[in-house]
Amino acid sequence: MAEHEIEFTIPFPKWHRPGRMLWQAGFTNRGLRWLRVSVAVKARKDSKLADSRERVLIDAVKARMNGDNVDLDWDSFDLEGRPDFHVRVWKAMRQIPFGKVKTYGEVAELAGSPMAFRACGQACGNNPILLFIPCHRVVAANGIGGFGCGLEWKRLLLGVEGNFLGSKA
C-alpha cells in the first residue's frame, strides 16, 4: 500500500530541554498509519503538505505540545492488520482523561482482559501512533513504568499535560 510520509520540527518546551523535536508521520489511503518523535539533530525543512489531513495532524501536535487538549478522531487512524488485542488496549487508553494516568492492570481490565496486565504492556510498546494513542498515560502500579523510546519522552508527554509524575523535584 502506498504510504506517504511527512516530517516537521517544533521546539521542545523550555522547561524540558533546549533544541527541537522531529515529528514524523506516515499516511495511507485509510488514514494515519504511524506517528513518532525524535530529537532533531540537524536543521531540516518541514515537508510540503499534500493534503488537509496532514495540516490537521500538525496543528494537533503543536497544540498538544502547547498544553491544549486537542484530539484526533479514532476513525482517522489506519490500524489495519494490527492484532485484535492491541487495538482493544489502544482504544482503552483513549478513555484515560487528558493529564490523568491509569495502571497497566486497569487498562488491561478496560480492554476486557483483567489479568493480561503484562500483555497490555506489550501492546503499549507496539503503539504505532504516539501521543494520540496516549500510551504515556499508562503507568506501573508502583511507579512510572517503562517507555519504548526512553523514559524522558514519557515524562515530557505527561509534563505537557500538566502531570509531572516521575519527574524529580
Partner DNA sequence: CACAATGACCAAT
Partner DNA sequence: ATTGGTCATTGTG
Q: Please report, for residues 1, 8, 110, 168, the alpha-carbon distance to residue 56 in angstroms, rounded to integers and kept in the order given.
A: 22, 13, 29, 34
Grid cell listed for 21? 523535536
Minimal distance, residue 37 CB to DNA, in Å: 12
Per CB under 7 A, does 105 bind DNA?
yes
Rule CB under 7 A: choose which of 117, 165, 166, 167 binds DNA: 117
Minimal distance, residue 105 CB to DNA, in Å: 4
Q: How many residues bind DNA (CB under 7 A)?
A: 31
Among the listed ranges 7-15, 21-29, 67-75, 132-140, the one in contact with DNA (CB under 7 A) is 132-140
149 classed as catalytic:
no
Edge-first strand order for the sheet with 4-11 is 4-11, 20-28, 31-39
Q: Cα dihedral sign for 12, 17, 18, 19? A: negative
Among the listed ranges 25-33, 41-49, 57-65, 131-139, the one in contact with DNA (CB under 7 A) is 131-139
End-to-end CA distance of the chain: 47
Nearer to DNA, 110 or 135 (CB): 135
Q: Which strand (E) or helix (H) includes residue 22?
A: strand 20-28
Q: Which residues contact 49 (CB under 8 A, 6 or more apart)?
A: 6, 55, 58
Q: Please report, for residues 20, 47, 147, the alpha-carbon distance to residue 134 in angstroms, rounded to integers and kept in the order given.
A: 21, 25, 12
Rule CB under 7 A: choose which of 8, 90, 145, 159 binds DNA: 145
Per CB under 7 A, does 128 bind DNA?
no
Per CB under 7 A, does 122 bind DNA?
yes
Catalytic residue among 120, 124, 135, 149: 135
Q: Which residues are tagged catalytic?
A: 135
Residues interacting with DNA, by CB under 7 A? Answer: 83-86, 103-105, 113, 115-122, 124-127, 135-136, 138, 140-142, 145-148, 154
